[in-house]
A and B are shown apart, each in its own frame.
Chain A
């Protein structure tokens, strides 16, 4: 592999792995605020015990998110120094703001939230939970602002030496693409957390243990989950799709596998893109739907790849096609599963309906896949551009870091992240096996854990 491909793989691997953790913690932070609020309003101890249990799972995931997040900030400089040199005057700002406004906030209040429950008054403990939630959601915002600028550059001046500088602070933060992406992404994080919480609830009910908590987790997970899954598709996903169709037609054509412009474009539900003969093999298509989804009328023409110069096609087209289809397919499945579960919850039949508890329990990995493939769709769709329309990916990598050096550190990360994966599995398995009551009975021990 050449150096450029290795730099790309390096970033792709470390960012994909990193984002397994924040997508849960950002969503779970919201669910924890809901649990803390329920505990405060109802005075029911069940909610306090539930929030302690989930705080423990939150803590492990948050830690892993922090330690795998540090390499991300470094890598802009180490592997993508040309990109950093030329765009640091723009994206350096949201990245620095993330550090200054959110990392300090999170690090200070996470400790108070995790270990201060007995010492702090109720309002103060609720506030620290809320600030952890706010910190993690702000953090996500600054990252999205950075990525949105790469997808849709705004508010910049180009200097004669090829360097970009920000021309308007508010213009950068109010990039319309940033807000669209932010809504879609945060909603996706809530989907992950809701599925994980429902899954543990379903597990306890299927195992006939800790059933009171199983019901609480399942109920909260399903109610939040059904809302988030629907919002994920409409309006956030729908708006995002229209945006891509308008601003990055090559990405949209690649996602949908549309090689030729056509009026009344079909939507392809399944198929295998064949780049050489420029067609979809074995397609399962529904006519006119794509035109309708993008333009609201089934006769509209959708731009195909044939209208786009070949050197501006997304460079790994089949991966783009599959990523998008996996994301969209899973999103549809999530709505169906959560809608059935919510209906059963409403009819008071959910807790005994083992046939639906099984898929709920088993589905927890799927939102991780959907979030990951969603990001792959966005980032592969942006190729061959690093900053859309301005800087090509091939121009952004570090000039003096060879393929061997990049592979060296990639191998290091592969090894280290294998260790982290093992620790993650052991710690989460143990926590879930011990159950929600363990954290209450065995308080002294739990507290000795970190602080």
Chain B
């Protein structure tokens, strides 16, 4: 039962990164892609109806983690206190900037929110990447299953790391490039004209960068946490996941060349899913690994909530997810196709 919930939470987080990832990515490349006021409006309109729903996956995944594995929620949220507070502030600023930009026609007002939107999107991507890298690397859990990480120490992994060390910064860079590419591909898919052209050229600049950081990232993970290979060595089938990562990068490259926008974007979705799925496969059955020798890994068995909760949860979780998927289909269907350059009645 706990194993099932491990993968359900992982699936929700993957859904979050794939979905909110593209609107974060649009924010990352926003100032480089959208030059005129009309293009900026068009860019914002390309994510306007969906960004909020995408972000809900983070809240829903967080809630589900709290429900299914209270100990992991308690330990990781308090241990990552400082970066989480900064993430909260960035999420607030980003939400404000997307929605409030259009409330005034004053150019200064709009420029202010443009900058804020870009700034918060870039930093959020870096923080999310670094957060994931922190979990993969492990944290210095104490005997009471808690820890507290300072923001920075000596930049080295080891028994007393900080939030930012060489490995987690690398994670942040991978996330920044990957989501920037993801957002560019989305934008190329949803817009036309100069905007589409520029989004595509940014994507072709980011692609080699992503290839390089990914190729560094995979072996770096083994160095930062050698035991992450255990599951792979015990189940060699798992090595197909890094192969999928490479294959998805190839797909993005070819599809961008041949102007198959949708294929390129789906390739990017596959890339993100495979990277995260691969990380989860390396962790399982551990939810929060420890470094140093004071504490022990927080595993599924140690952290899972009571059996009644998990059983009943499966019923309402399934119903809720089916409903949520239905809403997403309605919204994305109503919002299908390219965003027009001029406003139509619907305003998209």
Residue of B53, B64, B102 near A100 (CB, 8 A) is B64
Q: Is the interface of A mostly helix, strand, loop or mixed?
A: helix
Q: Measured between C-beta atoms, what is the minimum distance from B121 to chain A in Å?
A: 15
Given the complex of chains A and B, what is the CA–CA distance between A57 and B105 in angstroms?
A: 18
Whether B348 and A451, one on each chain, are in contact in the complex, defined by CB atoms closer than 8 angstroms, is yes
Interface set, chain A 311-327, CB cutoff 8 A to B: none
Segment touching A, from B80-88, B127-135, B198-206? B80-88
Given A103-B56, A427-B100, A448-B347: A168 touches B63 (CB 8 Å cut-off): no
Whether B324 and A104, one on each chain, are in contact in the complex, defined by CB atoms closer than 8 angstroms, is yes
> Interface readout for A217-250 with B: 1 if CB under 8 Å, 0 if not?
0000000000000000000000000000000000
> Interface readout for B201-223 with A: 1 if CB under 8 Å, 0 if not?
00000000000000000000000
Given A88-B74, A400-B146: A78 touches B346 (CB 8 Å cut-off): no
Q: At the interface, yes or no: A272 with Cβ under 8 Å from chain B?
A: no
Given the complex of chains A and B, what is the CA–CA distance between A445 and B101 in angstroms?
A: 12
Q: At the interface, yes or no: B67 with Cβ under 8 Å from chain A?
A: yes
Given the complex of chains A and B, what is the CA–CA distance between A344 and B243 in angstroms?
A: 76
> Interface readout for A406-423 with B: 1 if CB under 8 Å, 0 if not?
001100100010001001
Segment touching B, from A90-98, A203-211, A289-297, A328-336? A90-98
B residues near A92, Cβ cutoff 8 Å: 63, 66-68, 70, 73, 305, 309
Whether B305 and A88, one on each chain, are in contact in the complex, defined by CB atoms closer than 8 angstroms, is yes
Which residue on chain B has the smallest CB distance to residue A84?
B74
Interface set, chain A 80-132, CB cutoff 8 A to B: 81-82, 84-90, 92-93, 95-101, 103-105, 107-112, 115-116, 118-119
A residues near B313, Cβ cutoff 8 Å: 93, 96
Whether B316 and A89, one on each chain, are in contact in the complex, defined by CB atoms closer than 8 angstroms, is no
Q: Measured between C-beta atoms, what is the minimum distance from B60 to chain A in Å?
A: 4
Q: At the interface, yes or no: A405 with Cβ under 8 Å from chain B?
A: yes
Interface set, chain A 22-60, CB cutoff 8 A to B: 59-60
Given the complex of chains A and B, what is the CA–CA distance between A86 and B313 in angstroms?
A: 18
A residues near B308, Cβ cutoff 8 Å: 165-169
Q: At the interface, yes or no: A401 with Cβ under 8 Å from chain B?
A: yes
B residues near A109, Cβ cutoff 8 Å: 327
Whether A85 and B74, one on each chain, are in contact in the complex, defined by CB atoms closer than 8 angstroms, is yes
Given A63-B95, A108-B330, A405-B82: A84 touches B343 (CB 8 Å cut-off): no
Residue of B59, B73, B95, B327 near A108 (CB, 8 A) is B327
Residue of A68, A103, A398, A430 near B92 (CB, 8 A) is A68
Q: At the interface, yes or no: B148 with Cβ under 8 Å from chain A?
A: yes
Given the complex of chains A and B, what is the CA–CA distance between A21 and B73 in angstroms?
A: 27
Number of A-B contacts (CB under 8 A): 234
Among A68, A77, A97, A103, the one with the most B-chain Cβ atoms within 10 Å of its Cβ is A77
Whether B62 and A99, one on each chain, are in contact in the complex, defined by CB atoms closer than 8 angstroms, is yes
Residue of A63, A85, A401, A416 near B89 (CB, 8 A) is A416
Whether B345 and A84, one on each chain, are in contact in the complex, defined by CB atoms closer than 8 angstroms, is no
Q: Size of chain B's interface in residues, with CB distance under 8 A?
A: 73
Whether A73 and B49, one on each chain, are in contact in the complex, defined by CB atoms closer than 8 angstroms, is no
Given A85-B71, A93-B313, A107-B52: A166 touches B327 (CB 8 Å cut-off): no
B residues near A112, Cβ cutoff 8 Å: 330-331, 334
Among A86, A167, A408, A449, the one with the most B-chain Cβ atoms within 10 Å of its Cβ is A449
Q: Measured between C-beta atoms, what is the minimum distance from B336 to chain A in Å?
A: 13
Whether B305 and A89, one on each chain, are in contact in the complex, defined by CB atoms closer than 8 angstroms, is yes
Whether A77 and B78, one on each chain, are in contact in the complex, defined by CB atoms closer than 8 angstroms, is yes
Whether B305 and A96, one on each chain, are in contact in the complex, defined by CB atoms closer than 8 angstroms, is no
Given the complex of chains A and B, what is the CA–CA distance between A73 and B75 in angstroms?
A: 15
Whether A157 and B306, one on each chain, are in contact in the complex, defined by CB atoms closer than 8 angstroms, is yes
Given the complex of chains A and B, what is the CA–CA distance between A82 and B74 in angstroms?
A: 7
Which residue on chain A has the smallest CB distance to residue B56?
A103
Among B69, B73, B317, the one with the most A-chain Cβ atoms within 10 Å of its Cβ is B73
A residues near B88, Cβ cutoff 8 Å: 70-71, 74
Interface set, chain B 37-82, CB cutoff 8 A to A: 41, 44-45, 48-50, 52-53, 55-56, 59-60, 62-64, 66-71, 73-79, 81-82
Whether A116 and B334, one on each chain, are in contact in the complex, defined by CB atoms closer than 8 angstroms, is yes
B residues near A119, Cβ cutoff 8 Å: 334, 345-346
Whether A399 and B144, one on each chain, are in contact in the complex, defined by CB atoms closer than 8 angstroms, is yes
Q: At the interface, yes or no: B233 with Cβ under 8 Å from chain A?
A: no
A residues near B144, Cβ cutoff 8 Å: 399
Leading 7 A-B pairs by shortest Cβ distance: A88-B70, A77-B77, A165-B306, A447-B347, A92-B67, A449-B102, A451-B48
Show 21 A/B contacts (Cβ-Cβ < 8 Å), sorted by A.
Answer: A63-B100, A70-B88, A73-B62, A81-B75, A84-B66, A85-B70, A88-B66, A88-B69, A93-B67, A95-B67, A99-B59, A99-B62, A99-B64, A100-B324, A101-B320, A107-B55, A115-B348, A399-B146, A409-B82, A450-B44, A451-B45
